[in-house]
């Protein structure tokens, strides 16, 4: 992987499963739903507290707010420094790694490698402090798989992370092996590992499993294997009815097949669900409405999308081109 592709690797990492590090279920619920304004308000009210520092950092990552990302660093670093060997500091180290990873996405080519190194260092620290913190282990695995060698990437080290956790967290190990298989384009093995995962009530594992299956579904779609893609997304819609991933994937699959009405129906459903703002739903809805001939509806959807701070710049650029064509 070249330096030019490092931002893409870090962008994928930023989309990794949200960490279940917030002990207050309400706080975690706000983070999962993208209600960062509520989370920030509650965290600020709590004051000087490690959980507040982690919450503010993860909210800043989710909002991709540069000023707030920078402001989050001192409190997280202080949290790590005051208990340098305690498992209680692992969450702060993980959150700090997420902040550095998000900063690297928009950094210059000169600053990017240094921020990538800091990302890896904090994930390594989090795993060392708490080997059972699955969020940190998953983040570090994805970093090793996606980053180029000069920035710290290492397939061998990613494999070690999966082996280390097998005895005490066998279900998590399956997900890590699935990530390794995906990296090798061995989708059959990845699906076999994911099918065997029993997530139970582990919310962090549930989120990572959902994300992995979403990736599998889109791989089938890219390969034009629409029947398999539809099967994966239907299962996601069934197993995670409150989340947008399933209906969004079904909408994308229908759009690829020219089934415009079905695409619009699924994408409209996805817009109202958890995680919607993290997906380019309105971009794809705009495309579907253009195909249907509904220019007014398409314009409204695309205008909403270009205002989404969480949107991928590549999708935004395409949405702007579509809007220009509607003018």
Q: What is the pLDDT of residues 242-292, one digit of tens each?
A: 999 999 999 999 999 999 999 999 999 999 999 898 899 999 999 999 999
Q: 283: helix, coil or strand?
A: helix
In a domain, 26, yes or no: yes
pLDDT tens for 158-197 read: 999 999 999 999 999 999 999 999 999 999 999 999 999 9
In a domain, 169, yes or no: no
Domain that holds residue 89: 1-155
pLDDT at 7: 53
In a domain, 264, yes or no: no
- The set of residues, in sequence order, having a beta carbon less than 8 Å from that of 314 and lying 6+ positions away, is none
* Tokens (6 digits) for 142: 């994805």
Q: Find the angle CA(233)-CA(306)-CA(256) to the nearest 5 degrees.
A: 35
* Tokens (6 digits) for 7: 């931002």
Q: What is the mean pLDDT of the chain?
A: 91
Number of H helices and number of E strands within the chain?
Answer: 18, 0
In a domain, 185, yes or no: no
In a domain, 64, yes or no: yes
In a domain, 23, yes or no: yes
- The set of residues, in sequence order, having a beta carbon less than 8 Å from that of 250 and lying 6+ positions away, is 230, 233, 234, 237, 262, 266
In a domain, 271, yes or no: no
Closest CA to 267 of 318, 312, 215, 256: 256
Give the count of domains, the chain.
1
Reported as a pLDDT band with limits 50, 70 and 90, residue 203 is confident
Q: Is the pLDDT of residue 225 over 70?
A: yes
In a domain, 214, yes or no: no
pLDDT at 35: 87
Provide the whole-model pTM: 0.88
């Amino acid at each position: 992987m070249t330096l030019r592709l490092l931002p893409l690797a870090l962008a994928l990492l930023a989309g990794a499963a949200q960490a279940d590090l917030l002990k207050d279920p309400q706080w975690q619920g706000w983070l999962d739903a993208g209600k960062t304004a509520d989370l920030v308000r509650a965290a600020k009210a709590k004051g000087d507290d490690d959980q507040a520092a982690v919450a503010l950092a993860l909210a800043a990552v989710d909002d991709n707010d540069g000023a707030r990302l920078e402001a989050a660093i001192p409190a997280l670093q202080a949290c790590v420094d005051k208990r340098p060997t305690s498992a209680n500091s692992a969450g702060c180290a993980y959150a700090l790694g997420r902040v550095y990873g998000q900063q690297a996405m928009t950094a210059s080519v000169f600053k990017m490698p240094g921020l990538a190194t800091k990302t890896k260092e904090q994930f390594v620290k989090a795993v060392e402090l708490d080997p059972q913190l699955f969020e940190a282990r998953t983040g570090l695995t994805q970093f090793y798989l996606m980053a180029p060698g000069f920035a710290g990437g290492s397939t061998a080290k990613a494999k070690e992370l999966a082996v280390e956790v097998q005895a005490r967290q066998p279900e998590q190990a399956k997900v890590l092996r699935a990530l390794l298989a995906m990296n090798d384009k061995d989708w059959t093995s990845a699906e076999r590992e994911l099918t065997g995962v029993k997530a139970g009530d582990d919310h962090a594992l549930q989120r990572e499993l959902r994300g992995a299956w979403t990736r599998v579904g889109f791989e089938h779609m890219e390969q034009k294997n629409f029947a398999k893609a539809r099967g994966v997304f239907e299962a996601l819609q069934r197993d995670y009815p409150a989340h947008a991933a399933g209906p969004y994937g079904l909408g994308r699959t229908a759009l690829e097949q020219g089934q415009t009405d079905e695409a619009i129906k699924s994408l409209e459903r996805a817009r109202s669900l958890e995680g919607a703002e993290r997906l380019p739903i309105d971009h794809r809805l705009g495309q579907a409405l253009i195909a249907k001939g509904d220019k007014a509806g398409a314009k409204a959807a695309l205008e909403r999308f270009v205002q989404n701070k969480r949107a991928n710049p590549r999708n935004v650029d395409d949405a702007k081109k579509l809007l220009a064509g509607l003018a």
